[in-house]
Structures are given as C-alpha cells and as structure tokens.
Amino acid sequence: MTMAPVTERTPPIQTKFPTMGTTIFTVMSALATEKGAVNLGQGFPDFECDPKLVDAVTEAMKKGLNQYPPMTGIAPLREAVASKVEALYGRKYDSASEITITAGATQAIITAVLAIVKPGDEVIVLEPCYDSYVPNIELAGGTVVRVPLTPGTFRPDFVKIAAALSPKTRAIMINSPHNPSGTVWTRAEMLQLQDLLAPTDVFVISDEVYEHMVFDGQLHQSAARFPGLAARSLIVSSFGKTYHVTGWKVGYVAAPAVLSAEFRKVHQFNVFTVNTPMQFGLASYMASPEPYLQLPAFYQRKRDLFREGLARTRFQLLPSEGTYFQCVEISKVSALKEDEFCKWLTSEIGVAAIPLSAFYGNGFDQRVVRFCFAKKDETLKAALERLAKL
Ligand SMILES: Cc1ncc(COP(=O)(O)O)c(C=O)c1O
C-alpha cells in the first residue's frame, strides 16, 4: 500500500486578539538587559523575601505536602486570609465558602471576569488600567467600556462613571492602590461608588493587590469595608506583592458565597488548584501580622529615598500615595513621546521606565512615565545617579 506523503501544515488560525503585540513590559525589560540599564520598569522587587517564608515552604515540601490541595485552597490559608480581612477591614468572610486561593491575582481576575461576564455584557474599566483587564473582558465576549481617570490627578470621575453605566453594564473593575498612578481611593470616593451602584445590579471586581502599600498614615479603603460594595464585589489580592514573591503567583479572592460559588465553577476548570507547599508556607507565615503591618513603612522609606533623588532632576513628581510606583511628568526633560522617551532613557541614560500610554487603549500620551521603587537602596541610588544627568 502506498502512503500519501505527509504534509506538515498548521491550519490557519483566526486570532482572538488581532491587535495584540508584545507588551511594553517585555520590550522594556529586554531593552534594559541589552543595554545594561537599571530596570525600574517592570514591577517586581530585586531583593529577597523573608527567609522564614522560604523555610516555611521548604518545610512543607519536606513534610510531603506536595500533592493536590483542595480546589478552593487549603483551609489554614483560607482561614488566615479571612482573619486578616476581618481584623483590617471589619468584614467577616466565611473561610469555607467565601475565600478562594488563586494562582496570583492575574488568574483571580480572569476567573472573576469569566464567571460573571456573558457575551454582550458591558464592563467598565477605568483607564489607565492594568493590562490584563481588557483582554480578559474580550475573552469573555464582553464589551469594554473605557472611562478615563481624571488626567493629571488620576482620581475617579463619578460623573463620567455614571454616564458610562447602562442596562447592559455587568461589572466595573476598580484598582486601589492604583497601578500605574500610585493613587489611593479615599473613603469618600468608595462611598460615592457605593451610592452610585446601589440602584444597579452591577458587580465590582476590586483589584486590591497593593492593599498593604499605602503611605503617609492613609488607610486602604478595601471594598470589604463598605457593606453595599462588599455584597457585590469580588475582592482580589496577591501574596506576591505583599511578601516580595511575585514569581510564586499565589493570591486570593474574597466574595459573598453566591459569587464565590460561581467563581469556583470557572476556577476548578482553569487552574483547579494552586501549588500546595506555597499555600502551607504562606499559611504558617501569616500567623504573624507584622510583615504586612510593616510594609507601608518599608516602602514609604524607599519611596522617600527615591523621591528625594528625583526632586533634584527636572522631572515633575506626581504624588505616590500607595503601591511601589512613582510617576513623573517628563516635559521639562524631553520633548519625546512617552514610549520614545522610555526607550531613550533606557538606552542613553541607563534607566528603564514604563510609559503611561501603555495603560490606555488609545495610547493616550500625557508625558508621564512610571518608575518602580521596589528595589534595593543601592539599585535606587544607582538609578538616581544616572537620572541626575537629566
Ligand atoms: C494592578 C495589578 N493587578 C494584578 C496584578 C497581578 O498580580 P499577580 O502577580 O499576583 O498575578 C498586578 C501585577 O503587577 C497589578 O499591578
């Protein structure tokens, strides 16, 4: 029998994301490596986490805690999260039915979106916003409704948010402390959102990954503090940010039982479970609240060190109320567009930054770039020495 020659042919694929390219974070990090630049672009610490946390995970592995954990996360970690949320924000979540451990905030957010957004639903995002929100909504078949935060101050504009609400609005995605601007929503702003949504059936996906990085004595206004919001919110957080372990990709979602049940239906078929030893390690490490209670002071000191240095340049500093980001206005330093400026800064000055235009669907350019100060003091000082030339 003669066999037809095998042809290697990959069938043509209809892309779901025709306009998507490589993200600016990847581009800038690659350029930073190529040019030997100090990388203040991508948001991750360049220092180690607490060795006690590594020990706790190692111990879990050595104890043989290496097989599938429960789908919703191990009970001690869910309990530790519920206790923390109650202690800090005053709302009691049932650890069995209302807390789910996720593979970082990224998986939590896409899972939340897939769980609640149906084709044709509208979802409001406040721009500039974290880069996964829009593709997540698109994957769910939803329509993205972009509402700008007020240019310059990055405060929510409730007139614009109210105007964006429609009978088709399924959810709004909020993020405080805010990446990239470093703004922190006030209690008054959260109350305004609560009032605005009260007559609606709109859900809130509240991205609170920087909840423990709020400075100058301000408080993190978690959606959990506001009963009217908490009842309609999936609150997302990330151990990666809080404990300096962004590569571990472990986070959680807190939501009322009915919402958590829907969330878990998607969760069990996209990730199913989150790695076991990290969960045990985190659970035992969370027995002490000190690490997250000390985090504001830890990062505020770095912020101040970085800002003092930047104040000697011609950059204009924007406030950094929270997160580990510092934004600067570049007009007095350069006439270049934000993205061109960041490439130039990386190649010629040796410091990588991220253009804010990367966080807008239409590439809105307001001459502002973002630096990450989650770095060793020596890294920040090396960057400042280079930036001093500007
Ligand atoms: C606003 C925001 N949300 C979510 C994430 C993702 O967090 P994780 O690394 O836990 O997936 C990040 C990480 O940079 C972020 O800045």
The domain spanning residue 197 has which CATH number? 3.40.640.10
Which of 287, 309, 336 lies at the terminal end of a domain, its last residue? 287
Looking at the structure, tell me whether residues 243 and 339 fall in a common domain. Answer: no
Looking at the structure, tell me whether residues 280 and 297 fall in a common domain. Answer: no
Q: Which of 238, 248, 249, 324 to probe ligand 1 with, by most ligand atoms within 8 A of CB?
A: 238
Which of 260, 287, 314 lies at the terminal end of a domain, its last residue? 287
Q: What is the pLDDT of residue 112?
A: 98
Q: What is the pLDDT of residue 385?
A: 97
Looking at the structure, tell me whether residues 237 and 296 fall in a common domain. Answer: no
Question: What single string gives the DSSP state of each residue in 258-291?
Answer: HHHHHHHHHHHHHT----HHHHHHHHHHTT--HH
Domain count, the chain: 2
CATH number at residue 382: 3.90.1150.10
| Host domain of residue 143 | 51-287
Measured in angstroms, how far is the CA atom of residue 314 from the centroid of ligand 1? 30
Which of 287, 311, 342 lies at the terminal end of a domain, its last residue? 287
Q: What is the pLDDT of residue 3?
A: 81
Looking at the structure, tell me whether residues 305 and 354 fall in a common domain. Answer: yes
Of 224, 160, 237, whose CA–CA distance to 194 is shortest? 224
Burial of 342 (0-12, 13-18, 19+ CB in 10 A): buried
Q: Hey, how many other C-beta atoms are within 10 angstroms of the C-beta on 329?
A: 17
Q: What is the pLDDT of residue 22?
A: 83
Looking at the structure, tell me whether residues 192 and 258 fall in a common domain. Answer: yes
Q: What is the pLDDT of residue 378?
A: 98
Question: Does the residue 10 lie in any domain?
Answer: no
Q: Is the CB of 43 under 6 A from ligand 1?
A: yes
Looking at the structure, tell me whether residues 276 and 321 fall in a common domain. Answer: no
Measured in angstroms, how far is the CA atom of residue 209 from the centroid of ligand 1? 6
Distance CA 144, CA 123 (A): 5
Measured in angstroms, how far is the CA atom of residue 207 from the centroid of ligand 1? 8
Of 187, 179, 259, whose CA–CA distance to 219 is shortest? 187
Looking at the structure, tell me whether residues 230 and 349 fall in a common domain. Answer: no
Measured in angstroms, how far is the CA atom of residue 83 from the centroid of ligand 1? 23
Which amino acid makes up residue 36?
Answer: G
Q: Could you report the per-residue pLDDT of 248-290, keeping only the tens digit for each?
A: 999 999 999 999 999 999 999 999 999 999 999 999 999 999 9
Of 71, 177, 170, 80, whose CA–CA distance to 117 is shortest? 170
For the chain, residues with pLDDT lower than 50 are none
173 bridge partner residues? 125, 205
Q: Which atom of ligand 1 is nearest to the CA of 246?
A: 9
Looking at the structure, tell me whether residues 33 and 56 fall in a common domain. Answer: no
Average pLDDT, the chain: 97
Of the CA atoms within 13 Å of residue 51, those in its CB half-sphere come to: 0
